[in-house]
Amino acid sequence: MPTELQMNLQNAVLILGYNNTRINDVKRIRETARNTLNAATILCKKSPTVEDKNTADFVIDVALNSDQKNIDNIMNAIKDISINVVAVLPFSDPGTQLGSKLALHLGLRGPDVNKVNTALDKYAYRQAEKNAQGYPRGYKPIFAEKIDSFEQLCAIHKQLNGKTFLKPTSEGNSRGCMNLSHVHSLENAWSEVRKYISSGVVAEELVSNSEEYSWDHVAGFSWVTEKKTTQNQYRAEIQQIVPAPLSDVETSLITNAGTFMSELAGSNHGACHNEVFYSEKCQSVQAVEPNLRPAGMRIWDLAALAYENFEPWKEWLLWTSQNNRQESFLNTLNQKCYAGLRMITAVKEGILQNIPEINLNTLSTEQVELIEIVWTKKPENSVTTVIKDNSDFIGYIIATSKDYDALSSFLDITTQKLALEVKIYDFFN
């Protein structure tokens, strides 16, 4: 018989922020939390909006760095509403920091407080990488240095023979990233990254002749995602396919590298989205960055489509709340098909006027099933052909197929076809 105290305690999961526009994933976490843990969803973030309040069951206005006062604020708020926190979900990059401390404080699973800064600070990861006691087979650390001045940038650029990649240390969504071999002058590059200097900018050796992948993981389930980026200087992510079409040997090289990265970052088998470069020629893997949160661009939804009986969101909640059925964190996934997402680029610059209604069935083929068309821009939004980050696309599609090549060309052709259907008011006529 439960005591009166226990009966009044309502279970709740805490979400620590969300990156960019991922409010819809917050809705999904809320649904999953209610259905699998019978728990309410509390969103913790700085200056919550009306939309945040409409989405979560309760919102706590708090900064997400790991200051003790933020922990105190959260503890006071959960006391006010008499809830029993059963899971802590770091869902934003800054949230990983507070999340690890809070989980420790509450006796719940979370990232390792002593290592988690490498998941937020790209330079901290390079240092941890440099200091590691040995690497998995094929793993090559990347030369990196923090820059504070234009002179430093010039010196490093020279040292790297003009093959330099610039990265703000604490930005996501490819924001501020730049391939210096594509820019007209170092002055231009400097003026663009200046605004990130206060929070840190790293100059790294540019990785060439490599393809981008991510090793995605939750609660012992992992897979490799193929990523394609735009070919301009900004390298925004334009396409993902799960699983990546690699040989077993290649998949295990990336898996070992991903596992190594997650250990350096202290993931403790939680959610990981570790981005890597893989060179077929050298059979080598180089780390872009570890992320201790679910992947963006709906990679978890692609995995749910590609694998049998796999519900990554549910697995994440079960892991943080220590409710997993199994205690081993080596689980295998059975592939059903390939699932891919490709972004749609506007055909010209202007103001979006009209998006046609499209029946998914009419575009699907014998080999490829079109699952979703999503427009992220609406009428009256301005649109551009210069993609600096993911928010510059006008939408995306998701499709599945048993055949990788068929899926790949379908994604390419269909997004081009759809882009032509969108009416854009052009400033010049």
Q: Which residues bind other proteins (CB under 8 A)?
A: 10, 21, 23-24, 27-28, 31, 40, 53-55, 57-59, 80-82, 298, 359, 372, 374-376
Structure tokens at 374: 């999503």
| Smallest distance from other proteins to CB 199, Å | 29
| Smallest distance from other proteins to CB 376, Å | 8
Q: What is the torsional sign of CA 21, 216, 276, 246?
A: negative
Length of the chain in terms of residues written: 429
Structure tokens at 5: 């105290």
| Smallest distance from other proteins to CB 417, Å | 19
Toward other proteins, which CB reaches closer, 289 or 301? 301
Toward other proteins, which CB reaches closer, 59 or 147? 59
How many whole angstroms separate alpha carbon 90 and alpha carbon 271?
9
Toward other proteins, which CB reaches closer, 60 or 189? 60
* Complete edge-to-edge strand list for the sheet that includes strand 144-147: 144-147, 201-205, 164-168, 178-179
How many whole angstroms separate alpha carbon 114 and alpha carbon 3?
38
Cα distances (angstroms) measured from residue 122 to each of 50, 277, 418: 32, 15, 37
Contact 119, 129 (CB under 8 A): no
Nearest partner of 37 among 341, 315, 353, judged by Cα: 315
| Smallest distance from other proteins to CB 358, Å | 13
| Smallest distance from other proteins to CB 203, Å | 36
How many whole angstroms separate alpha carbon 417 and alpha carbon 149?
45
How many whole angstroms separate alpha carbon 339 and alpha carbon 249?
21
> Which regions of 75-121 does DSSP assign to beta strands (E)?
83-90
Toward other proteins, which CB reaches closer, 10 or 181? 10
CA dihedral 88, 93, 97, 98 (to 10 degrees): -50
> Which regions of 164-314 does DSSP assign to beta strands (E)?
164-168, 178-179, 201-205, 211-218, 221-229, 237-242, 272-279, 284-289
Toward other proteins, which CB reaches closer, 84 or 259? 84
| Smallest distance from other proteins to CB 51, Å | 8
Hey, how many other C-beta atoms are within 10 angstroms of the C-beta on 159? Answer: 13
Toward other proteins, which CB reaches closer, 55 or 291? 55
User: In 114-238, where does DSSP find H-type helix?
Assistant: 122-131, 150-159, 186-193
Helices and strands of the chain, counted as H and E runs:
13, 19
How many whole angstroms separate alpha carbon 261 and alpha carbon 279?
17
Cα distances (angstroms) measured from residue 170 to each of 197, 201, 290, 406: 10, 8, 12, 37
| Smallest distance from other proteins to CB 58, Å | 5
How many whole angstroms separate alpha carbon 169 and alpha carbon 14?
26
| Smallest distance from other proteins to CB 77, Å | 8
Tokens 């490599």 belong to residue: 210
| Smallest distance from other proteins to CB 411, Å | 17
Toward other proteins, which CB reaches closer, 350 or 395? 395
Toward other proteins, which CB reaches closer, 298 or 314? 298
Toward other proteins, which CB reaches closer, 53 or 130? 53
Toward other proteins, which CB reaches closer, 292 or 339? 339
Amino acid at 331: N
| Smallest distance from other proteins to CB 272, Å | 23
Q: What's 227's DSSP letter?
A: E
| Smallest distance from other proteins to CB 344, Å | 13
Toward other proteins, which CB reaches closer, 41 or 170? 41
